[in-house]
Amino acid sequence: MVKRDMPMLAILLLLVLAGCAVPQQQTSLGFVPITGRDKIIVMRPDIAVDILTTGGMLERREDWTITARENVIASLVAIQARRGAARRITITRTAPAADDAILTELNKLHEVVGQSVMLHKFSPSVLPTKQGVFDWTLGELAVKYGQQTGHDYALFLYARDSFSSGGRLALQAVGFLSCAVGVCATQSGGSQTAFASLVDLKTGELVWFNYVYSNEGDIRTQEGADVLVSRLLDTMSEDEGGRT
Amino acid sequence: MKTRRQFILGAGGCAACMSGLAHSRVLSTDLYPLVDVGYEPLDADERGMWQAMQQIEETIQASPQRLNNPELEAYTGGIMEQIIGRETPDLRLYLIRSALFNASMFPTGMMVVNTGLLARVRNEAQLAAVIGHEAGHYYRKHSIERYRSLRTRTAAMNWFSTAASVGAGVESMSNYGSGSNWIYAASMINTAVTMSVFQFSRNQEEEADAYGISLMARSGYSLDAASKIWAQLIEERKASAAERNNRYSDRSKSALSTHPPTEDRMKDLADTARYLAGKSDQPASDRRAEWLAAITPHRAMLLDEQIRLNDPGASLYLLQSLAQDGWNGLLRYNEGEVYRLRGETGDREKAAGAYAAATAFPDAPADAWRAHGYALLKAGKVEDGRYALNHYLEMNPDAKDAGVVRFTMAQ
């Protein structure tokens, strides 16, 4: 059995991001706004929805995850229709003309790089070497992918959502009551963590990044997914009009 | 620190008296598979676990660390079918390039075997023992069972802590006490629950050992192979520790270990092997010839991975055990590499000696001639050195360092 690293990550994020519900946007220096001629590919979003157990473990829920992924894809398609840009969304894991291994690795790499951006750029203790710069990249792999598919940019989206189990809710209630006797044993509830990156497939660099951390929201519903996707991506549409 | 360790050991000893047995072995005859071919989980927690694991499997399939070798995959897959006794569409075996001795099983039927394990087993029966053990984890549904146990226990622990906080709060409000007894009691209970998580995991390992050896008994493999793996590993770890002037200590003896102590596993497997062998009149084989035929073409890669760990005690132990069949050029060359990487006083001479010995064998790899040539040049034997380097270039005309070697020869 492998260890799941999500619970640790969730704890870490709770520590560093507690209270940040306002989306932040970060672009690299010298980002040239995308024009209508650029071909953008929207990668299959990496989505998972979990139950937060009484003991604080995250337990994957297959049905919720499938629904949430469909919802997020539908939100992306709706945005695409509104904007009318030359975009394509890969609904399946395999994009035409790209080899499977590259696609899997790219998605995995984006997850790790995105988490690193959140930790080292947006946490209270920004790395000294990352102050005033935004120089993350998916490297040669992304360039190779661009050459294989003929796209200029790739948009990646990663989202994790979680909800308290019945037991967890009961414990939260007792924990809340305990404040009445002076010892607050409060228990955290479910939360939402998501980030999106726009990657320049000519250089592999992340040219735009945005994240959402929230104690609210529910991507199991279409409205919830729409809210998340627009909070993540709406700031990018401003970029398209002018420089940030 | 010391008192805490004594407390833990004391608690372990006490649990043993209560059960009436110092150590109870899982009987392999009691075990049957809990899942069949085509098994699909129905419960929400298990389905979620499978979904998450399938994503991991996609990553492993595409991983550059995977050893994409159709012959070895077919061979190891064949052992799996032999030991399960039928075709195994429910199990998928991936070979991963990692020099560490390990194999693992995922709840979905994905099995991962490290090249470091292939480097160490001595015959097909030993590999079958490992595959059988891992299959035991799958067929006995250990992952979901362990997860559910952990979920229950962490929930209980959280309730104990919360209840203790409330209790402490009530006490400090009503009696002006500190309430610390509540917190202390909860932490004692939770420590005991935490220890039981590890015990649960150790019990599963024992069950997987028992399951594996019963599969071996049915498929005609020599049963003593299972305990021999652990005997070899203990010897190797002793050699590794001695080389580093450490005393060998088995980390799995800790109360916080997920696996039972290595020596206990070895003894239990040996006992079970004797018991099962007594009941069977089937001829058993370790299928060593088949193993050597399959693994010899990959021996250079496996040794290279091991030697780069720079664990000279373990590497020399491995080379010496392989040399029980007789030294050859590949083994001698790798022996030289161990000394070269260790780099202690006198190691340069030892390496030179090993390279020279390697080139005396017809199977000496090109790299052995190269290393031998440079060693001779360093020793001032210019003519012999040039001859050896020339031999290297003849064997490997497209070598990346051919230019450098020619330059050296021209000096």
Domain boundaries, chain A: 6-236
For residue B25, the model assigns a pLDDT of 60
Helix axes B44-62, A62-83, angle to 10 degrees: 60
* B287 is a domain residue: no
pLDDT single digits (tens) A112-125: 999 999 999 888 87
Q: Do A104 and B44 touch (CB under 8 A)?
A: no
B313 has a pLDDT exceeding 90: yes
**How many contacts does A have with B, using Cβ atoms within 8 A?**
103
Q: Could you tell me if B241 and B301 lie in one domain?
A: no
Query: Residue B359 sits in a domain of what CATH number?
Result: 1.25.40.10
Confidence of residue B160 (pLDDT cuts 50, 70, 90): confident
**Which has the minimum average pLDDT: A23-37, A127-141, B8-22, B198-212?**
B8-22
Task: Tell me, yes or no, whether B62 and B97 share the same domain.
Answer: yes
Do B272 and B308 share a structural domain?
Answer: no
Residues B310 and B241 in one domain: no
Where does a domain end: B250, B279, B308?
B279
Contact A100, A94 (CB under 8 A): yes
- Give the domain range for residue B383: 297-410
Q: Are residues B223 and B192 in the same domain?
A: yes
**B114 and B199 housed in the same domain:** yes
Residue A88: exposure state from Cβ atoms within 10 A (0-12, 13-18, ≥19): middle
Mean per-residue pLDDT for B254-270? 89
Rounded to a whole number of angstroms, the distance from the CA of A3 to the nearest CA of chain B is 11
Check A62 against B165: CB less than 8 A apart: no
Please count the structural domains in chain B.
2
Residues B337 and B232 in one domain: no
- At A7 the pLDDT is 42
Give contacts of B 348-387 with A, CB under 8 A.
none
Percent of chain B at pLDDT above 70? Answer: 92
pLDDT, tens only, B107-127: 999 999 999 999 999 999 999
Residue A60 vs residue B188, higher pLDDT: A60
Tokens encoding B188: 């004692």
Nearest-neighbour CA in chain B from A201: distance (Å): 21
Q: Which of A76-90, A146-160, B201-215, B362-376 has the highest mean pLDDT?
A: B362-376
Interface of A with B (CB under 8 A): 1-2, 4, 48, 50, 53-57, 59-63, 65, 93, 100-102, 104-105, 108, 167, 171, 174-175, 177-178, 181-185, 187
Kindly report each contact of residues B91-97 with a partner whose C-beta sits within 8 Å and lies 24 or more positions away, as own/partner: B91/B135, B91/B138, B92/B57, B93/B131, B94/B60, B94/B61, B94/B66, B95/B66, B95/B67, B95/B69, B96/B60, B96/B63, B96/B65, B96/B66, B96/B67, B97/B65, B97/B66, B97/B67, B97/B305
Co-location of B247 and B327 in the same domain: no
Residues B268 and B331 in one domain: no
**pLDDT tops 80 at residue B139:** yes
Distances (CA, A) of B135 to B38, B107, B121: 15, 10, 18
Tens-place pLDDT, residues A181-223: 777 777 888 899 999 999 999 999 999 999 999 988 999 999 9
pLDDT at A240 over 60: no
Res. A107: pLDDT tops 50: yes
Instruction: Give the model's pLDDT for residue A142.
Output: 95
pTM, two decimal places: 0.83
Lowest mean pLDDT among A93-102, A195-204, B209-218: A93-102
Least confident of A148-162, A182-196, B13-27, B34-48: B13-27
Residues in chain A: 244
State residue B17's pLDDT score: 34
For residue A96, what pLDDT is reported?
A: 54
Select the more confidently predicted residue: A134 or B95: B95
In a domain? residue B122: yes
Residue B254 has a pLDDT of 85
Give the pLDDT confidence score for residue B311 in this predicted structure: 95
Residue type, A19: G
Pair (B71, B105) in one structural domain: yes
| Higher-pLDDT residue of B6, A109 | A109
Burial category of A86 from C-beta neighbours within 10 Å (exposed 0-12, middle 13-18, buried 19 and up): middle
